[in-house]
Structure 1
Amino acid sequence: MNRQEMDVLLCIAQGCNENQRALARMTGHSLGVVNRCLHTLAEAGYLNEADGRLTSKARELLENSRPSGAIILAAGYGMRMAPIGTEVPKGLLEVRGERLIERLIRQLQAADVTDISAVVGFKKEAFEYLMDEFGVKLVVNPEYGTRNNLYSLLRAKEKLGGSYLLPCDLWCAENPFRRYELYSWYMVSDAQSEESDVRITRARELAPAKPGQAGARMVGIAYFTPRDGVALRKSMETLEATGLHKNDFWEAALFAGGQPAVAARVVRDGAVSEINTYEELKELDGASVHLRSEALQAAASALGAAVEEIRDIEVLKKGMTNRSFLFSCRGKRYIMRVPGEGTERLIDRAQEAQVYRAIAGRGLCDDPVYLDPDTGFKITAFLEGARSCDSASADDLRRCMKKLREFHEMKLQVGHTFDIFAQIDFYEGLWAGVPSVYRDYETTKANVLKLRPYIEAHAGRKVLTHIDAVPDNFLFYPDGAGEALQLTDWEYAGMQDPHVDIAMFCIYAMYDKEQVDALISMYFEGDCPREKRLKIYCYIAACGLLWSNWCEFKRNLGVEFGEYSLRQYRYAKEYFRLFKAQCPEGLPDVQTRGENGE
């Protein structure tokens, strides 16, 4: 039996046996193909020739082809849904009175699919009720912050064969699931998409889209027979073993390693709506309760507008501490900051507000349009054409260091201090008893603490210091015929030796020693005394450990920063060694020897 004949048989099994035109409409095949399939199925003993009804042979085949279960992928952040995605997982968004994941579960159950697993991660506890109300099994992806859904699916790989596979952010107008499935397929729309990686071949199978050409819009629902499910699982395991596919969707495995061809199940455009953004939710259901986001209500109130006037929402790149989105209101564009996971434990928003009062009107940055010390929400005017500092551009660096030096020379004062060593202990304390991922952490920390006496002996007068003066926070923007420069994101700022800012810039830019020395010389305009250079080396080691501890806390919340976190830990070790080699007299007499003789 070929796929065309299977399509016709499945349609008849679903009750469509009115006439050949109805079968053609439901299968998408021509009348001629449908007519030929009916004759073949009858000759093969699957249909009664007299009335076209299913025979016992057909019923036996179908009963042995029931889907055994379903896997719903619901682990991710839904970052493009900002600001809603920071408040509720996408699968729990309400559309036309139903939560997305609940509607999908009900549609599966209507097709007699009851063995349903949901892979969860972000705000996983919010899905717990599904276990009691729908009998859903929860599978946790602890690395939802750093892995794409290829890894999520691997967490449920034992369920693959004979199961439906689907994302949680779909609204299906009609039930796409069936009591019987005779072959593997992947659902695509009849619309074209520039973002699609697949195309439909003449044989109605999926193939990789050609470079530069639009493909068929990918819906994301799929079904795999038991045999094909085993093949897909092996393909995914092969990709995972390489370590090169952490950011891939599971669909990458469809065409890897000789995976069998998968049929394209084509649905009309609009039959299935994928909800990735606030605007898409608004278009599908303008009355959804989730359009009344706390962040949007705060923005509207701050601007003296109605929530409906907040438009053109566009998610910006996720920051290391916060998430931000761009929006329009009454002809102007703004950026709103929404604090990320665990931020309320890291940032004192009242202190941040004090910093903004201290720098107001000094040409360092535009005053916030709105800043709420309780929620951490912040709104600033959008700088059209702005760009961040290019950490490889000598001209950019000279301007940034000049701006930084001018800020330090203002000698501004606030009522709080950013204590590096206290913060190292504070972030470590947030691990809640979970040991460091680095096996020589205790030795590394002990060595960094040995730098403290030298730092304290050579530290300059404490002034307001940015602390997060990294390349991304220096913004160049058009101003007349040239570019003006601002220093943004002051949430970590406090009283400290201003030379800490130089160290912070270096470790965020992940500079090597030659680049570090060049930046130090640039800040001091070529005249940096030896003791100050050595002090900055100490700051690089201490700040490297500080941000490594910060990364470990965020990792425990499911947020991973890849190479950045590893490099911060390396700065702690390498710049201790560098200081030790250049200034051994600056260390205590008693040395703690680690496995590297440190």
Structure 2
Amino acid sequence: MKRNEFHILNSFYNGSIGRGSCSYDLNCNKSLHDQEALNNLIKIGFVSQSDSKITELGIEALEPYRVNNAVILAAGASTRFMPLALEQPKGLFEVKGEKLIERQICQLQDAGIKNITIVLGYKKEMFYYLEDKYGVNFVINESFNIKNNIESLYLAKDKLRNTYICVSDSYFAENPFNQYEYQPFYAGMRVLEKTNEMYVDTDENERITLMEKNRKSGRVLLGHSFWTAEFSKAFIKLMEDDRKVGKYNHSFWEWMVKDNLNNLPPFYFKEYSSGNIYEFDYFEDLRKFDTQYLGHTHSEIIRNIKLVFRCDEEDIVNFRNVSEGMTNTSFVFEINGTDYIYRHPGDGTESIISRKNEKMSLIKAKEIGIDPTYIYADINEGWKISVFIPEFREPDYNSFEDSKKILEVLRRLHSSGIKLDYGMQPWEDALKMEELLREKSPNCFDEYEILKRKIGRLYKMTINDGVEKCFCHGDTYKPNWMIQPDGRVILIDWEYSGYSDPGIDVGYYIVDAMYDFDEAERFIKEYLQDRYTEKRFFHFMAYTAIIAYYWFVWALYRESCGAVMGEALMNWHEMAGKYVDYALNIEEND
């Protein structure tokens, strides 16, 4: 069947099932091309001339074009959509009285698409009610936080036939779905401004010939796409081949299409009018579309900010994502022209961090001028608000001048005279985290027993050696340091702070910098200055190993909670092993 014949016949079908009136009136003059196609459909008996309806024969002719199912991608965490995405997946946001994903499911079902699979990942449990309510199926993507949506499609590859590929956060003003589709396509529209979407060029038949980003205007891909069984089979082959190298692990699936337009069946652009398809990449986009989000977002995070600053919700604007840290997620917001940063606690941190203790440390650090950014911290839920510092740089591990700046602050912190009734005990704390790990997997720590025994032996050598406890930060790697343009240095993030051994602060900077022994010696001597003795030097070298071991065990625990620690875990393991052997060798040779 020719394309224009299909569209005419499908229009008659949609009219017959109540999806709007037929747009092809037999008594209306159409283009010569359309009229010829319509006459042919009447001639072969697909359309009845007497009552202007599709015939049974016409319905049979559409059958090869039947859409089998739909796959909705809903695994991502939508990290650009701060702060709402911290509380629930974007597909569950309510827009103009309807949850985004529920509106889309209903539109698919209204079009006759009953077989719907949703790929879940981030906060997946929040979607489970959809199974009972709509009869949908689920596929779980456990790698949603380390791979992009190509992984979701790969996990759903057995579902890919004549299939709609959708994203859970699309909002369609009018139902775009059909029981039948002629060819594979990606929906989109024309825009007159620069967007973050993928732009396309097409030939005279609307086949996509080029896809690229960063144009000032043009036609963009937006919303859903449709794959024929042929296209699905070809794309699955590309995904399976890529599993061997992982080139597209961190890419949206559109990039695989972009790079393989000549290796895939023809892929077409289906243009919709402006105002029919919406995707909300940022919270401000949603506020513009649905004004309820100006005054009442139903967000606990927005409520927290509102209460701290005694302001209205519409005063809180300009949300910007900050790269996720190892422990928490943060975002920047603006009130009355001033930027602040909100820290949202990571999953599992409540088991290893006392927010009450952290708050006391923040207050003390502000009093002595080491962290002037603190505004408020909640001891029950773990969230924190600070002043956002826009201009600063992190220290350079290879710059000894930067090291001097850092060490001057640490000496000031350690000599502040502040005494607290809590603090990090890296050896004892590591043992507690090991127990938490063994509760999940009894034998998971067996391979590290030799290292553990060495660290324990080294720790005993440092007890009562004359190095006094003091107010410590506990997490001195370079992302927690801010060197401002005027030379002032700020130390932020006090989750692991307290009354502890100063070796944890000096040692962890060495560990994260991965200094060799001579660099570590220079660093320790600069810290100690006229207090240097061989006994104190040994103490700080020993604590370099101890604190590396602590962070290694911490990383194992965080990964057991679903975090991805990457090479940091192995670096901490390497530094613990390297420095424990070095310190024990020092002691044996004395």
Short-chain TM bin: 0.7 to 0.9
The equivalent position to 1:477 in structure 2, one of 474, 484, 493, is 484
- Residue 451 (structure 2) pairs with residue 447 (structure 1): no
Work out the CA distance in 1 between the residues paired with 2:230 and 2:470.
67
Q: Summarize the Cα distance change of 1:350–1:206 in structure 2 as closer, same or farther, 3 Å threshold.
A: same
Q: Summarize the Cα distance change of 1:32–1:524 in structure 2 as closer, same or farther, 3 Å threshold.
A: farther
SS at match of 2:288: helix
Q: Summarize the Cα distance change of 1:548–1:116 in structure 2 as closer, same or farther, 3 Å threshold.
A: farther
Instruction: Indicate the residue corresponding to 1:553 in structure 2.
Output: 557
- Residue 351 of structure 1: how far off its partner (Å): 0.6
TM-score, with structure 1 as normaliser? 0.87
SS at match of 1:177: coil
- Residue 201 (structure 2) pairs with residue 200 (structure 1): yes
Q: CA RMSD in A?
A: 3.2
Instruction: Indicate the residue corresponding to 1:104 in structure 2.
Output: 104
SS at match of 1:353: helix
TM-score, with structure 2 as normaliser? 0.88
Work out the CA distance in 1 between the residues paired with 2:408 and 2:61.
77
Q: Summarize the Cα distance change of 1:330–1:70 in structure 2 as closer, same or farther, 3 Å threshold.
A: same
The equivalent position to 2:352 in structure 1, one of 313, 328, 346, is 346
The within-5 A match list for 1:165-314 is: 165-191=165-191, 193-202=194-203, 203-210=205-212, 213-214=215-216, 216-256=219-259, 258-288=263-293, 291-314=297-320
- Residue 164 (structure 2) pairs with residue 164 (structure 1): yes
Work out the CA distance in 2 between the residues paired with 1:33 and 1:575.
81
Instruction: Indicate the residue corresponding to 1:134 in structure 2.
Output: 134
Q: Summarize the Cα distance change of 1:13–1:565 in structure 2 as closer, same or farther, 3 Å threshold.
A: farther
Q: Which amino acid is the alignment partner of residue 221 of structure 2?
A: M
Higher relative contact order (CA 8 A, sep 6+): 1
Instruction: Indicate the residue corresponding to 2:491 in structure 1.
Output: 487
Work out the CA distance in 2 between the residues paired with 1:540 and 1:9.
75
Q: Summarize the Cα distance change of 1:41–1:195 in structure 2 as closer, same or farther, 3 Å threshold.
A: farther
Q: Percent identity?
A: 28
Work out the CA distance in 1 between the residues paired with 2:35 and 2:394.
64
The within-5 A match list for 1:368-407 is: 368-407=374-413
- Residue 61 of structure 1: how far off its partner (Å): 3.3
Instruction: Indicate the residue corresponding to 1:594 in structure 2.
Output: none
- Residue 317 of structure 1: how far off its partner (Å): 1.8
Instruction: Indicate the residue corresponding to 2:574 in structure 1.
Output: 570
Work out the CA distance in 2 between the residues paired with 1:370 and 1:220.
40
Instruction: Indicate the residue corresponding to 1:119 in structure 2.
Output: 119
Work out the CA distance in 2 between the residues paired with 1:23 and 1:553.
71
Work out the CA distance in 1 between the residues paired with 2:444 and 2:150.
24
Q: Which stretch shows the higher mean deviation, 445-454 or 516-525?
A: 516-525
Work out the CA distance in 2 between the residues paired with 1:465 and 1:178.
63
In structure 1, stretches of 5+ residues that fail to align are 25-29, 587-598
Q: Which amino acid is the alignment partner of residue 336 of structure 1?
A: Y
Native 8 Å contact 2:79 2:321 kept in 1:
yes
Work out the CA distance in 2 between the residues paired with 1:33 and 1:343.
66
Instruction: Indicate the residue corresponding to 1:460 in structure 2.
Output: 467
- Residue 389 of structure 1: how far off its partner (Å): 2.9
The equivalent position to 2:504 in structure 1, one of 500, 505, 510, is 500
Q: Which amino acid is the alignment partner of residue 538 of structure 1?
A: A
- Residue 242 of structure 1: how far off its partner (Å): 0.7
Work out the CA distance in 2 between the residues paired with 1:155 and 1:109.
23
Work out the CA distance in 2 between the residues paired with 1:420 and 1:43.
85
Show CA shifts across 1:204-229 (max 9, x none).
Answer: 23345357545643324222111211
- Residue 90 of structure 1: how far off its partner (Å): 1.4
Native 8 Å contact 2:26 2:52 kept in 1:
no
- Residue 57 of structure 1: how far off its partner (Å): 5.2
Work out the CA distance in 2 between the residues paired with 1:298 and 1:147.
32
- Residue 152 of structure 1: how far off its partner (Å): 2.0
- Residue 97 of structure 1: how far off its partner (Å): 1.5
Native 8 Å contact 2:11 2:23 kept in 1:
no
Instruction: Indicate the residue corresponding to 2:18 in structure 1.
Output: none
Work out the CA distance in 2 between the residues paired with 1:330 and 1:113.
48
Work out the CA distance in 2 between the residues paired with 1:506 and 1:31.
77
Work out the CA distance in 1 between the residues paired with 2:257 and 2:28.
29
Work out the CA distance in 2 between the residues paired with 1:204 and 1:436.
59
Q: Summarize the Cα distance change of 1:298–1:445 in structure 2 as closer, same or farther, 3 Å threshold.
A: same
Instruction: Indicate the residue corresponding to 2:428 in structure 1.
Output: 422
Show CA shifts across 1:313-353 (max 9, x none).
Answer: 22222222222221122332211222122222222111112
Work out the CA distance in 1 between the residues paired with 2:157 and 2:296.
32
SS at match of 2:109: helix
Native 8 Å contact 2:201 2:208 kept in 1:
yes
Q: How many pairs align?
A: 578
SS at match of 2:196: coil
Work out the CA distance in 2 between the residues paired with 1:575 and 1:40.
84
The equivalent position to 2:441 in structure 1, one of 434, 457, 475, is 434
Instruction: Indicate the residue corresponding to 2:335 in structure 1.
Output: 329
Work out the CA distance in 2 between the residues paired with 1:62 and 1:94.
36
- Residue 467 of structure 1: how far off its partner (Å): 0.5
SS at match of 1:241: coil
SS at match of 1:209: strand
Q: Which amino acid is the alignment partner of residue 196 of structure 2?
A: E
In structure 2, stretches of 5+ residues that fail to align are 16-20
Show CA shifts across 1:78-113 (max 9, x none).
Answer: 222222212112121111111111111111111121
Work out the CA distance in 2 between the residues paired with 1:32 and 1:441.
79
